Structure formats: structure tokens, C-alpha cells
Structure 1
Amino acid sequence: MAHVSCFCGGVTQNVRPKISTASNGIALSLCHCNTCRHTTGLLCTSYLPIQEPEISANLRIFRTSGKSARYFCRICGCHIFRNEEYNRGEAEWGVATGVVSRTDDDVIGEVKFTDHKHVSDTKDGGIAKWISFEDKEWISEEADRPEIDSAQSESLEAACACGTVRFHLTRPDAASLVPRRNYPDLTHAYCETAASILSNVSDEKWWVRGGKYLAGTCACQSCRLASGFEIQTWTFVPRANIFIQIPDRETTTANIPLDFGSLPPGILQGYKSSPAVTREFCGTCGATIFWHETEDTEVIDVSVGLLRGSDGACAGSWLKWWKDRVSFVEEVQSGRNGPFATAAKSLIDTLSNGMKGELVNQYTT
């Protein structure tokens, strides 16, 4: 059995993995398809095949197609299960790997992330270009394709899978440099940096880098349990540069500056992951949308998987990726043990090395 639980604990149960008797363990894939990115807000997902689970009252269903459905916690937004119908209507179930905390190790055997799926949907390789698997390293036909130049665009569209949450970003401007925010763990590891440095006494506008917004990866326990997956990807954008689309009467829409206090109900659903932090997600499809301090909302973490840029999933003409560190890399095994914890650490180590250029950027479509 495998024990699974979301951030809030509203969905907690044991599930039974499907294990091939011919193998010595479990091989997992990272999926980069458009549906996975826009349904979760992340750049990739991963599921463990399981037997049919219990569908509790706290699970909300979103059907991505007539034969595919995602199940997420209606309280914290964490993705838990996926159901896909193949072979004359036979359902294949999967559980998001990030919610697996412990297993019967002697039965599971070794767990490894081994390959990528649907990388071509990303246009630019997405996060796969930084994760090279030693036993499966194919070079995509798009691996050496030059980045599409979309620098002339003055807005970047973003939306979740169901379209309930739609917004756009504008380029950094004078208003982008007005807010103040402490340094994030992404740039200054909290576990080894003095509070006097983290407080950003010099008031550096670290979220703007060369006319782009800073973006990075996170492996903290909170992001993992709030999303359901191993790698969260954020970009840091001032609220003054975020314009959200809301219905205006019955036939038109209006783009207004993001203001959490004045949004109509039904667009965003908030969950306080700590007294000082609120995470916003779509209550219809479960996509992670924003992370922000509850009292200070001037600089917002935006889920990169929602972005719909012409140059690809990593939005290279808009985002400057921080490659020196995966945020909260020290927490990759927090709250979990056994082979899934080991596999997660190996995955994040591979990502860390890949972003630093220590591995060959190879991936499969």
C-alpha cells in the first residue's frame, strides 16, 4: 500500500500501486503536455499507476476530455488522482507522486523517474531541458531550435485549463520597482542566511532582471502538498503588472488590475497554507494560480504553467530563470520516507545539476 495525503489532510487514504511482477520496481514519467501544465499550473506532472481508489467527498472532479479526469482537493487545491479510459472503457488510475508519503518498501522495490512525455507541447523543451535521465537520453528534434522572438509583445496571456481564471502580465515598468519584498529562498537559502540579509535592507528590486521577471523552481513540502507534484515553478511579478479578466455583464469581459479584495466570487479560491501565506487556485480545474503573503500582496508568485507565450512553456522572452538553486531543496524529503522520497531527491538533484549546466540537455518528445 501507499499512503497519500494532501496539504490540508482533507484527502487522506491508502492506495494500492500497480506493480509489474516482471520488474524490480517502478518507473515514473514526467509529463509536459499542455493539459497537465494548464490544469496544474506547473511545468510537469507525474503519476503512479494504482488500482481504483476511494473517491471521498472532499475530492472535486475536472474532466479534461471525455475519457480523462483529474481529481483535486476542494479545500487546498492539491491534485490527487487522474483517471483515463483506455482499452474499451477500462479505467487506468494514477495518484500524483507528490502526495505519496510512505509505502510498503519491500513490495514496491526501487522507484525511479526515467523519462519525459509530450515535451513537444512545450515548444521550447520546458523544464525537460534541465532534467536528463541516464538510462533514456534522446535528443528532441526541437532541442536546438532557436528561441522564438516575441520581445515586441507587450502582454503575456495566462489561463488555467478550464478558463475560469484568465489574466495577462505586462512588461516591467516604473510601477514594477515600487514594491518592497524580502529575498526569497530561491536566491538566498533560508537555512544558511542571516535574517539581516534576508530582510533586503538595501531594497533591491530582485524580481526584475534585465527587463524580465525572475522565475525559478521550488521543491518545498508546502508546494508539493498544495500542488500534488514534485516541482513547482514560480515567477515573481508585481501586482501592478497583473491584469485579471472578469465577466462584465453577460457578453463581455473586462481586464482589471489584480485586487484580491474586490474580485467577484468564483474566480479564485484561497487556501491559507500558513498564517502569513495564501495560495490561490482555480476551484473548477484545480490549477495553482498565485502564492502571496496574506497581508502584503504587492509582489505575487505566479504559476508558470499557466503562461501562454508564443516562445514556449518557459517564456524565455519574458522570464529570467534562476539556475543557481532550487528553492527549499532541503525539504524535498520532508514528511516522506522510503523509495518515493529517494526518487524525489534524485529527481531534484538532477534538476539542480541540469540548471547549472552540469548535464547534457537531452529530452524525448
Structure 2
Amino acid sequence: MAPDSKTLTAACHCQSIHFAIIIPADALPLKVHICHCSICRYIHGTPCIFHAPLPAGVAPQFIAPSGIEKLTSYNHAESQAARHFCSTCGCHIGDRSHDDGSWVISTAIFTEPNQGLWKMRTHAFTTSSFDGGLSAMFSHVDGRQLDVFNLEASLDTSKATRTEAEELRAECHCGGVSFSIARPKKGFLDSPASEGWVLSSDTSKWLALLDLCDDCRLVDGSNVVAWMFVPVDHISPSLPGDLIVGSLKSYKSSEDVLRTFCGMCGATVFYSCTDRPGIVGVAVGIMRAPEGVMAENWTLWSRRINSEDDGLKYDPDFSRALIEGLKVWGSRKGMPEVFVLPRV
């Protein structure tokens, strides 16, 4: 390695994908755009994604036994680059251009925390989110104002208008996974099973939270993930015990936690754990709520982010901006200050 360069390593949760990139020192910190477009949301299952273009000539160098053959690539009719995600755990590592082979890389998968390695610069395609998504929560990181980039045609109303009042549609980008979520039903509300999963302040909505935990970050490939918690019997078509429907694949991120992702486009879809039987976390990024990414007609968001400590260790500047921004946004929207998810 030349003295005027730095080697960064990255890996997904299951370690099937492990690579290094050698970055010229004058190219650091990598410039990150936070993309809120519907394509990125539906491919990742997150409210937005975090990508940094690599300098010309820089590409992942896979470390054995890892290799590019352990990635699944996804292309679609409008794509200018192939999306790549781990075939085992579903973690997105980045995109490779069809034109010149250049890479944009996920900033969520590096093996060391952000100490001058990357810098958030831009909120991109915020109008595509309808409600601003996470860009409505923070406009500055470490005292720096982020640029905002939009195109006139970036407002995407396709598929979002299909949602009806008593059903919320969820669908990954390729359409391999598609289902509907119902509002809390009377039978559920009247049963002990509803305790803690529906707040008395609004029994028509489900609980939701943002998550900065290391496992979610490394399973999805995004710096923050969002979940809405729903009983499985409020999802149609019915889910089998293994949560595998359509093109879903499963991955156990720990002994007690099962996750699923689309095997064709890589979207994170479900999260379940053994101490919350009958309840699944549904990835908010694949929801098609007409009102916007945060699906506020369906959700009550905690004003406290899950696993704040993990986020503050990995990227303290970004995490502080989001943590504080969520508190202000949540207060303005009348969201609950905090809630504790039930466990058996």
C-alpha cells in the first residue's frame, strides 16, 4: 500500500462478503449521498440509502474465501448500474456502473468506525419520498448543512396510490414479494395479545421505530433501518411459520432472530424473534403509503432510536444528527416519546 493511501475493509453480517478498497488519501473522506428515491427504498427496504462513489480505478478486492460469485446482482429496466447484495444474508454492498464499471459503495459495512473516512454531503431525491422521509429530521451533520438534490421528475406516484384506507400495501422493487397489512382488528384489540403492541392514544396504528443496531446495519447495508411491528395474522396473504413467501430467502442473524429478504432484488422484508411470537417487524422502506415514506397514517414512531449506542460508535456525527432530529420531528408530529416493545 502506498503511503499516500488508506486501505479500508468491509464485510457483511455473515462474512460471506469480505473485501478491501485502497483509497488515495486525497480522496478521503468519501463523499456520501443519502438517496430517498423509491427505487433505492424498494430495493433496500429502508427509508433511504447511504452511498459513496469510489475514485476512478478503485474497486472492491475480495478477500478469500469471499468472492464476487457470492453476490447476487440485480438489474431493472431503468438501472444504470447493477446492485449487488450478499446471497446469504442479503446485505447490499453497492452498485457497479454498466458504462464504465465504477462503483458506489455502501458506507454501512466498513469494519472500522467513521473517523474521517466518509462525510454525508447530500440528500438526494427527497421529493420522491412525498413527506421528506429522514431528510425531514435532519438537514445538518456535524454543523454542516447538507445539499438537497432533486429532479423535476423525481416525484414517483407509481404504485403508492394503490393503497386503500384499511389496507397498506408492501412490495419490494422486483415485485417478488407483495402483501397487504391490515389495521388493528377488534379481535386483536380485545385480546391480551395486543398489550404493548397498540397504544391507547391511537388504536388504528402500529408501532414503528428507527434502528441503528449493528446487526440490522450489516444485514441490510444501510446506516439506519426502520421497522413497523405487525401481528402475522394481520398480513395477507397468510405467512407460513418460516415467513417465506414469493421470492423471499431467510437468514438467522442470531439464534433467536430470523430475517428475510428478497432473493431477486435484495430488499429487507421481515424481522422476527422468538421472544415476540406472532409479531413481525416489517421493513418500512417497501411500504407504499400514499402519504409518504414514514407512513404516518399507519404508524406511531418512537422518538427514541433503537440501539443508539451502536450508531454512535459507528458514525457519531450522523447518529447524533438523526437522534436529535427524530426527537424534534416526533414532538412536532405528536409521536410517543418512547415505548418498550413487549417480550414474553
TM-score, normalisation: structure 2: 0.79
Q: How many residues matched? A: 303
Give 1:173's match in structure 2, choosing from 185, 196, 219: 185
Q: Deviations over 1:117-144 (max 9, x none)?
A: 0101001111110122143357899xxx
State the distance in 1 between where 2:48 and 2:148 align. Answer: 18
Correspondence 1:90 to 2:97 = no
Greater relative contact order (Cα < 8 A, sep 6+): 1
Alignment root-mean-square deviation, CA: 3.0
State the distance in 2 between where 1:2 and 1:207 align. Answer: 45
State the distance in 2 between where 1:283 and 1:232 align. Answer: 19
Aligned to 1:73: 86
> Does the CA-based 8 Å contact 1:39-1:160 persist in structure 2?
yes
> Does the CA-based 8 Å contact 2:72-2:85 persist in structure 1?
yes
Aligned to 1:318: 298
State the distance in 2 between where 1:176 and 1:295 align. Answer: 19
Q: CA deviation at 1:82?
A: 0.8
Aligned to 2:342: none
Q: CA deviation at 1:100?
A: 0.8
State the distance in 2 between where 1:296 and 1:6 align. Answer: 26
State the distance in 1 between where 2:114 and 2:127 align. Answer: 36
Q: CA deviation at 1:295?
A: 7.4
State the distance in 2 between where 1:104 and 1:353 align. Answer: 19
State the distance in 2 between where 1:76 and 1:99 align. Answer: 13
State the distance in 2 between where 1:69 and 1:52 align. Answer: 14
Aligned residue for 1:167, secondary structure, equals: strand
Identify unmatched segments of 5+ residues in structure 2. 1-6, 62-66, 151-159, 333-344
State the distance in 1 between where 2:270 and 2:243 align. Answer: 16
Correspondence 1:346 to 2:317 = yes
Larger CA deviation: 287-296 vs 346-355:
287-296
The amino acid of 1:274's aligned partner reads S
Give 1:205's match in structure 2, choosing from 197, 208, 213: 197
Give 2:75's match in structure 1, choosing from 58, 63, 66: 63
Q: CA deviation at 1:154?
A: 1.1
Correspondence 1:302 to 2:273 = no
TM-score, normalisation: structure 1: 0.75
> Does the CA-based 8 Å contact 1:179-1:298 persist in structure 2?
no
State the distance in 2 between where 1:289 and 1:262 align. Answer: 10
The amino acid of 1:94's aligned partner reads V
State the distance in 2 between where 1:212 and 1:13 align. Answer: 42
Q: Do the aligned partners of residues 130 and 18 (structure 1) sit closer, same or farther apart at CA in structure 2, a change above 3 Å counting? A: farther
State the distance in 2 between where 1:10 and 1:43 align. Answer: 25
Q: Deviations over 1:73-118 (max 9, x none)?
A: 0000010121234xxx22330221110113897xxx4532132001
> Does the CA-based 8 Å contact 2:32-2:52 persist in structure 1?
yes
Q: CA deviation at 1:300?
A: 0.7
Aligned to 1:223: 216
Correspondence 1:46 to 2:59 = no
Identify unmatched segments of 5+ residues in structure 1. 142-147, 182-202, 244-255, 335-340
